[in-house]
Amino acid sequence: MSTAKLILKGTEHELPLVEGSEGEIGIDVASLRATSTAITLDPGYGNTGSCQSAITFIDGEKGILRYRGYPIEDIAKEASFTEVCYLLIYGKLPDRQELAGFEEKLTYHSLLHEDMKKFFEGYPPGAHPMAILSAMVGSLSTYYPAWSGAEDVDLNIVRLLAKAKTIAAFSHKKSLGQPFIYPRNALSYTQNFLHMMFAVPAEDYEVPAVLDRALNLLLILHADHEQNCSTSTVRMVGSSQANLFASISAGICALWGPLHGGANQKVIEMLERIRDDGGDYRKYVALAKDKTSDFRLMGFGHRVYKNFDPRATLLRAAAGEVLDELGVDDPLLEIAKNLEQVALEDDYFIDKKLYPNVDFYSGILYRAMGIPTDMFTVMFALGRLPGWIAHWKEMREDPKGRINRPRQIYVGATRRSFVPLAMRDGGKAPEEVLEPVGAW
C-alpha cells in the first residue's frame, strides 16, 4: 500500500498507510517520534485512531452503524439483547445452543453475594446510582479476583453482565426505601431487570410486554459505539492489565459526564426547565445559539454523526409507538418535538450539522417506562456493557498490545531556579533560614 510523505523541517519522512475493511485510511505514525523526535498533536482525538478494531463500524457522514458487520436496523428488528452481547463479545451470531447456554449462565449468575447487599446500607438515600454502579462493579473484583486464563475471563464476563442489572435495580430500590427484589430464573434478561425494578413483595407483578420490547431495543441501540469516551477509558485502564471489573468501573465513570451518557438525564432536566419556564422552547433555541451563554441543547450534536444518528431514528419511531401503547400523555414530549422541529429548521443547527442524538429520545422513552431520571445513565451503562467488554477483550487478546501512554507538548515554564519558601513573599529571607538550605 502507498505511503504518506511528511516534510518536517526540510527532512522527508515516509509514513505507511493503513486501510480498514471499509476503506478508511489511517496514517501510521508509530515510527514518527523515533525517526523525527516530533509527535502528532490532536486534542480531543478527533483525528486519532487509537487502535484497529473489528467490533463496530460507524460512518458518521452516511449515518451507518454496524455491529460485527450487521446493520443496526436489522439487529434492532431481529435480535435480542443477549444475542447482541454474544455477537459483540465473541464476534459471531450464536446458534440456538450457544445462545441457550449463554442465557442460562446469565440467569444463574444474576444473584449478588449476600455480603454485597450490605454495601447499599452505607450509601446515603440520595446517592446517584451511577456512583453506586461504578463502585459496586469495581468491588466485584474483590469477590471474583481470578485472572488466570480464558475460562476465568469468560466466567467474569458472564458475572458482570448478569450482576450489573441486579446492582442497578437494587440501587433503585434503595433510593425508594423498598425491599430488594431478587431475580427469577424463569424470566429473560430484560424481564428480570424490569421485575427487580418494579415488583414489590406485596403484589404479583407481570412484566408488560411493551416495556420488555422497549428495553430490549434501548439496550441494543446502546450496546457499542466504537472508540467513544467511555470505551476509550475502558481500553486505557485495561491496557495497564487492570482486571475486567476495574476497567469497566472506570468506563462507567467516564459515561456519567453530561457530554456523554449523562446527556440523557440532562435532556429531561432541560425539558423540565423549559416547561417550568412557561414552555417557550424558542427562547432556549436562541439561548443555545448565543455564544455569550454556555447553554447547549442537550441531546443535540455528535462528534461522529454529521448527518443523522441512526439510533436516534430508530428510537424516535419507537418512542411514538411505546408512548401510544402505554397511553402516556407527556407534556415534555410535546416540548421535545417542537424543539426538534425548530432546531432542525434553524440555520445554526443545519450549518453545524447538529441533529438529535440517541440521548434525546432515550430519555423520553425511559421516562414513559417509569424509570426515574437519575437512573437513565445507568440504563445506558447496562446497554453499553457488552461493547466495553468486547473492546476490553479484543485489546487484551491483541499480541501487539501495549500500555496506552500518550505524549504531550509541554507549554509550561522552562527551567528556572527553585525559590525557598521563606523568600517567596518578596521580603528578605531571615538569616537562620538561608544558611541551612541545601547544606547537607
Binding mask 397-416 for ligand ACO (x = CB under 6 A): --------------------
Residues 6+ apart with CB under 8 A from 275: 331, 332, 335
Name which of 105 and 303 has its Cβ closer to ligand ACO: 303
Q: What mask, x for binding ligand ACO by CB under 6 A, covers residues 202 to 241?
A: ----------------------------------------
Question: Using the rule CB under 6 A, which residue among 140, 197, 218, 358 binds ligand ACO?
Answer: 358
378 binds ligand ACO (CB under 6 A): no
In this chain, which of 157, 357, 389, 395 binds ligand ACO, going by CB under 6 A? Answer: 357
Nearest to 90 by CA among 73, 105, 74: 105
Q: Which is nearer to ligand ACO, 109 or 302 (CB)?
A: 302
Q: Which stretch binds ligand ACO (CB under 6 A): 32-40, 189-197, 213-221, 260-268?
A: 260-268
Assess 138 for contact with ligand ACO (CB under 6 A).
no
Q: Select from 128, 173, 235, 302 the one that contacts ligand ACO (CB under 6 A).
A: 302
Q: How many Cβ atoms sit within 10 Å of the Cβ of residue 416?
A: 6
Residue whose CB is less far from ligand ACO, 158 or 263: 263
Is the CB of 183 or the CB of 383 nearer to ligand ACO?
A: 383
Q: How far apart are CA 284 and CA 269, in angstroms?
A: 13
Contact yes or no for 302/248 (Cβ under 8 A):
no
Q: Does 259 bind ligand ACO (CB under 6 A)?
A: yes
Return the range that interacts with ligand ACO (CB under 6 A); candidates 5-13, 133-141, 156-164, 291-299.
291-299
Considering only 85, 218, 354, 381, the residue that binds ligand ACO (CB under 6 A) is 354
Q: Among residues 13 and 296, whose Cβ is nearest to ligand ACO?
A: 296
The least CB distance from residue 26 to ligand ACO, in Å, is: 19
Residue of the chain from 299, 383, 386, 387 that contacts ligand ACO (CB under 6 A): 299
Is 197 near ligand ACO (CB under 6 A)? no
Query: What is the Cα–Cα distance from 31 to 150, expressed in whole angstroms?
Result: 33
Residue with cell 498533536: 41
Coil, helix or strand for 372? coil
Grid cell at residue 194: 424490569
Residue located via cell numbers 464476534: 91
Least Å distance between CB 292 and ligand ACO? 12
Dihedrals φ, ψ of 7, to 5°? -105, 115
Four-CA torsion 289, 319, 56, 137, nearest 10 degrees: 90
Which residue from 213, 275, 296, 396 is in contact with ligand ACO, where contact means CB under 6 A?
296
Q: Does the protein bind ligand ACO through residue 316 (CB under 6 A)? A: no
Rule CB under 6 A: say whether 252 interacts with ligand ACO: no
- Mark the segment that binds ligand ACO (CB under 6 A) among 81-89, 292-300, 324-332, 406-414: 292-300
260 touches ligand ACO (CB under 6 A): yes
Is the CB of residue 332 less than 8 Å from the CB of residue 340? no
Does the protein bind ligand ACO through residue 298 (CB under 6 A)? yes
Q: 333: how many CB neighbours lie within 10 A of its CB?
A: 19
Grid cell of 16 as nine digits: 505507511
Residues between 64 and 123 that touch ligand ACO (CB under 6 A): none
Whole-number Å distance between alpha carbons of 184 and 166: 11
Spatial separation of the C-alpha atoms in residues 173 and 120, rounded to whole Å:
10
Q: Taking the alpha carbons of 162, 134, 212, 356 in that order, is the dihedral positive or negative?
A: negative
Q: DSSP states of 105-149 as a string?
A: HHHHT-SPPHHHHHHHHHS-TT--HHHHHHHHHHHHHHH----SS
Phi-psi region of 264 (alpha: psi -120 to 50; beta: other; left: phi over 0): alpha
CB of 339 to ligand ACO, least distance (A): 11
Task: Report, as residue numbers or ranges, the catalytic residues.
Answer: 302, 359
CB of 301 to ligand ACO, least distance (A): 2
Assess 359 for contact with ligand ACO (CB under 6 A). Answer: yes
394 near ligand ACO, judged by CB under 6 A:
no
Say whether residue 263 binds ligand ACO (CB under 6 A).
yes
Residue spans of alpha helices (H) in 239-345? 244-256, 263-276, 281-289, 310-326, 331-345
Dihedrals phi, psi of 186, to nearest 5 degrees: -80, -10
How far is it, in rounded angstroms, from Cα 81 to Cα 158? 14
Cβ count within 10 A of residue 130: 25
The CB-of-243 to ligand ACO minimum distance in angstroms stands at 26
The answer to whether 374 contacts ligand ACO (rule: CB under 6 A) is no
For ligand ACO, how many residues bind (rule: CB under 6 A)? 18
Q: With respect to ligand ACO, which residue has the nearer C-beta, 238 or 301?
A: 301
